[in-house]
Structure 1
Amino acid sequence: MGEFHVLSTGQQSNEQLIEIITHIHPYVDAIHLREKAKTAKELVSLVSTLSAKGVPLEKLIINDRVDVAVVCGVRGVQLAYHSLNAKAVKEHFPSLYIGCSVHSLEEAQEAEQEGADYCLYGHIFATDCKAGLSPRGLSELAAITKQIDIPVIAIGGIKPNNVEKVLQAGAKGVAVMSGVFFADDPVAEARVFSSILKKWGRKNE
């Protein structure tokens, strides 16, 4: 079955984040806290509040901050090009689930060689988050999934009507940011994505 990742937008209050995440977590596989403006202390506080409200730590992935991920005991960390090297993180924290954000085949191959557990690759389709930048498209996604062995999670302009195309191109899952966090009904939207991915999994068992 394809994995369903959601990424916070960095544009919502803690109250909004907590409200949304505590209700959508049953329908998602990984929740990325992508809150670049928050300090380590603020992130730790957010994680502990989410945990107290029943959000499983094994579903939480911290963007960039290896220290916070380790201290909080969450599932993993998402590394960007400016983050610590995946190889160094894996050597020191072998149990941490490590994702690398990549934008080319070369970057994906490098992430795999460094020991990353998966790649987040995009943007696949046009999206407001990357206005003016041309999307990488399904053919590039397919080329990458054929040449690396670790799972590729597709991001960027993913909507319920194109999830299957992305999975057909070899992605092992999808990641959605504003499509869930800015939806009128985030829970309903998360359920839609979840059911599409489950249906795909059953069809391709």
Structure 2
Amino acid sequence: MLKEIHLISDGRLNPEQLAGLAAAVHDMVDYIHLREKAMSARELLAAAEQLLQAGIPPSKLVINDRIDVALAAGAAGVQLAWHSLPPAGARGIAPGLRLGRSVHSPEEAAQAGRQGADFCLYGHVFPTACKPGQRERGLEQLAAAVRSSSIPLIAIGGITPGNAGAVLSKGAAGIAVMSGICGAPDPAAAAEAYRASVQAAASAMS
């Protein structure tokens, strides 16, 4: 039973640093999300092109929010936020893109599937510095979201190699990691630890 690892950029690295990090870890992750909210479309496209030039396969590249940039870069997919176009609208513009939808409840997870998303990103599961002051949703709410979703659900938020197995045991199709890799002293070693944890959990469930 394959389980995915999604690496999400954290907005703290410049494009050169991000390309170097991505090149070092991409063999150990399944998708790399370019999530750089401060960048203009032109800057985002340039950053995507740097990732591709660093050897990241287009099939692994996901652009956050910007369908136009995803299409221009030849990326595999786009991650739609709450303020983005709904999946049905995005599908009409870009029928070939893999569409992810960010969700925060079982109801939103169910809706994402009905609207035509290919997968949803659900969180945050555990406390995380990325969402200070916001209460985590926990493993039981994660399990409820998985039950509600007709599409693969990827869990995000405070996930570590130590708790990834518990997340996957609730039915998540994979995990998404931001600071756990991007902020690690040794990103490649961190990615290896996540991959080992995910593979062990998948093997235990098969």
Q: Does 1:105 align with 2:111?
A: no
Residue 162 of structure 2 aligns to a residue whose secondary structure is helix
The number of equivalent residue pairs is: 205
8 Å CA contact 2:16–2:50 kept in 1: the answer is no
Q: Write the distance in 2 (CA, Å) between the matches of 1:99 and 1:148.
A: 13
8 Å CA contact 2:107–2:148 kept in 1: the answer is no
- CA drift of 1:199 comes to 2.2
| TM-score, L = length of structure 2 | 0.96
Residue 10 of structure 1 aligns to a residue whose secondary structure is coil
Q: Write the distance in 1 (CA, Å) between the matches of 2:137 and 2:205.
A: 25
Q: Write the distance in 2 (CA, Å) between the matches of 1:62 and 1:92.
A: 15
Q: Write the distance in 2 (CA, Å) between the matches of 1:186 and 1:55.
A: 16
Q: Write the distance in 2 (CA, Å) between the matches of 1:58 and 1:162.
A: 28
How many percent identity over aligned positions?
47
Runs of 4+ in structure 1 deviating by more than 4 angstroms, as ranges, are none
What is the CA deviation profile of residues 29-57 of structure 1, one whole-angstrom value per residue up to 9, with x for unaligned ones? 01000001111111111122221221101
Residue 32 of structure 1 aligns to a residue whose secondary structure is strand
| TM-score, L = length of structure 1 | 0.97
- CA drift of 1:167 comes to 0.5
Alignment-derived partner of residue 150 in structure 1 = 151
Residue 143 of structure 1 aligns to a residue whose secondary structure is helix
- CA drift of 1:8 comes to 0.4
Q: Write the distance in 2 (CA, Å) between the matches of 1:8 and 1:39.
A: 16
Q: Write the distance in 2 (CA, Å) between the matches of 1:126 and 1:53.
A: 33
When the two chains are superposed, the root-mean-square deviation of aligned CA atoms in Å is 1.0
Structure 1 unaligned residues grouped into runs of 5+:
none
Alignment-derived partner of residue 175 in structure 1 = 176
What is the CA deviation profile of residues 151-180 of structure 1, one whole-angstrom value per residue up to 9, with x for unaligned ones? 110000001110010001111100010110
